[in-house]
Amino acid sequence: MRNQILCIFIKQLNKIILYKTHAGVLVYTLVISILTLVFLLGFLQLFLLSNREKLILMSEDKKEDILQSGIEFLLSANFNCTDTVFKITLFENDEHEHFLKQERYGLFDIITSTLIWRRDTLNKIRLIANCKKSDQTCLISGSSPFSLKIGGDALLEGDVEISEKGIERAYVGGKSYIRDSLVYGNIKLLNHSIPELTKEIAKINSKNFINFSRAEILFYSNEILVNQKRNFNQAILIIASKNEMNIDSDSISGKCVIKSEKSITIGENAFLENVILDAPKIIIEDNFEGCIQLIASDTIIIGKNVKLRYPSAVFINQSESTEVNPLLEIGEDTKIQGLVIIIQSEKVLQKQIIMPVLSVGLNAKITGQVYSTGNVYHRGLINGSLVCKQLIDLSSGVNENLLIDGKISKRKMPSFFPEFGILGNYNQKTILKCLE
């Protein structure tokens, strides 16, 4: 009996062990299956995420290609669409809209490539100018009854085109010429006046340097500080006044024009970046620093130790009704990078006034191009080129066709600096600055 009971117990125990063994295997198999599924799901999610990132990167690259293609199209030498906006299709699909625009902005142009991609609007905006291949000409002066005389520490480094009367050493005010050569370059003798500015530049005045029909106007008050930052994909903002304007602690940047019917004075504490100033008379006080374009019809006075960063422009286009000589005065130790241009009215030109329209102070440095239809009194340094009626010196009376201590060096003009095609001989559009 006892043996029978023991046999039954052993049989039941074997059944239990066998059942537990099967249950353990089932649980183990289930756990392995769950882990495998989790791994597969994770791998699938990682794969989908990776593909999504690749698609996003491909989309971003395509957007960049479309925007850049628009900029390159606007830079093409034979293309001009000033103050126009139009839609263009560079790629055959309908998933985006692409708009191109070129507009006048002072002495330069702004080109814009705008892409509307689904819900996103992207812009690529550049400041450009008409430019030409650089040459080595540092000075062009008009015909004169006098030879060009140079004395003291004067320097002409580059090719020169001067009066057929030639060039010689001068001894003025106890200063004789101290260098070995009169010109460090080639000499070409002329019997005609200086070349004219391109019509595109010559016609710029206070009424047409931007498209006023698309501008917004903010009236200026000297009692309220102005703090404006205007994006270049917006309409131009004109900060205007009929009275004299004193910009001192104001902060103005972007697509803005500061316009006065009388005069504008800029203090050293003003913050101005990429803006245009327009008035009959403009005064920049000592120690100011900024990137600006000055457009005047009468007078521009730039104080000492002023820094006008690249690409700045200083421009006087005298009103035809004015008979007084215009004046651009650049103070000692001032630095200007860009363009300096003065155009006299026909009435003033016919008077043959001897006094200078441009005066460059001691140690002042202009990097770029200088053009004047009148006389230039130069005591500083021009790293670039000068085109003028004639040089004069006022250190000991009024002496015509005389350069004492002033320096003009085309070879010291930085290699990155563009040669603006202001004389009508441009062959390419060059990006000066990325605005957005």
Contact present, 102 and 83 (Cβ < 8 Å): yes
User: What are the φ and ψ backbone dihedral angles of 213, each rounded to 5 degrees?
Assistant: -65, -20
Going by pLDDT thresholds of 50, 70 and 90, the confidence category of residue 97 is confident
What confidence score (pLDDT) does residue 46 get? Answer: 62
pLDDT over 80 at 181, yes or no: yes
Residue 255 DSSP SS3? coil
The H-assigned helical ranges of 269-377 are 346-350
**Which domain covers residue 242, as residue numbers?**
137-434
What tens digit of pLDDT does each residue of 193-251 get? 899 999 989 999 999 999 998 899 999 988 888 999 999 999 999 999 999 999 999 99
pLDDT tens string 360-376? 999 999 999 999 999 99
C-alpha–C-alpha distance, residues 113 and 68, integer Å: 8
Determine the Cα–Cα distance for residues 236 and 161; give it in Å rounded to an integer: 41
The confidence score (pLDDT) of residue 58 equals: 46
Which helix (H) or strand (E) segment holds residue 117: the answer is strand 108-117
- Cis previous bond, 311, omega within 30: yes
Q: What is the mean pLDDT of residues 145-166?
A: 94
CA pair distance 138, 144, nearest whole angstrom: 18
Pair (234, 295) in one structural domain: yes
Among residues 80, 106, 129, which one ends one of the domains? 129
Please, are residues 395 and 153 in contact by the beta-carbon 8 Å criterion? no
Report whether pLDDT(408) > 50: yes
* Among candidate residues 108, 129, 150, the one where a domain is terminated: 129
Rounded CA separation 107/128 (Å): 10
Contacts (Cβ under 8 Å, ≥6 apart) of 256: 228, 230, 236, 237, 238, 239, 275, 276
Same-domain status, 146 and 224: yes
Choosing from 129, 150, 177, the residue where a domain stops is 129
Q: How far is CA 425 from CA 127, 160, 383, in A?
A: 20, 18, 20
Backbone angles phi, psi at 342, to 5 degrees: -130, 125
Pick from 178, 73, 79, 252: which is nearest to 404 by CA? 178
Q: What angle do CA 401, 402, 408 make, to 5 degrees?
A: 105
191 and 160: one domain? yes
Q: Is residue 144 domain-shared with residue 122, that is, in the same domain?
A: no
- Percentage of residues of the chain with pLDDT beyond 90: 61
The count of domains in the chain is: 2
Q: What is the pLDDT of residue 54?
A: 45
Pick the most confident of 79-83, 133-137, 266-270, 346-350: 266-270
pLDDT at 386: 98
Residues 32 and 171 in one domain: no
Structural contact between residues 360 and 379, judged by C-beta atoms closer than 8 angstroms: yes
Shared domain check, 109 and 235: no
Domain identity same for 173 and 318: yes
pLDDT higher than threshold 60 for residue 168: yes
- Same domain for 349 and 408? yes
195 and 299 assigned to the same domain: yes
Same structural domain for residues 110 and 193? no
Cα-based distances in Å from 164 to 78, 138, 293: 37, 17, 36
State yes or no: pLDDT of 352 exceeds 50.
yes
**Nearest CA-CA partner of 359 in 334, 383, 384:** 334
Measured distance CA(309)–CA(290) in Å, rounded? 6
pLDDT, one tens digit per residue, over 11-57 is 654 555 555 555 555 556 665 666 666 666 665 666 556 555 544 44
Return the number of other C-beta atoms located less than 10 Å from residue 302's C-beta.
25
The rounded mean pLDDT for the chain is 87
Same domain, 111 and 186: no
Q: 56-71 pLDDT, tens per residue?
A: 444 778 888 888 988 9
Q: Does residue 277 sit in the same domain as residue 167?
A: yes
pLDDT in tens, 288-338: 999 999 999 999 999 999 999 999 999 999 988 787 899 999 999 999 999
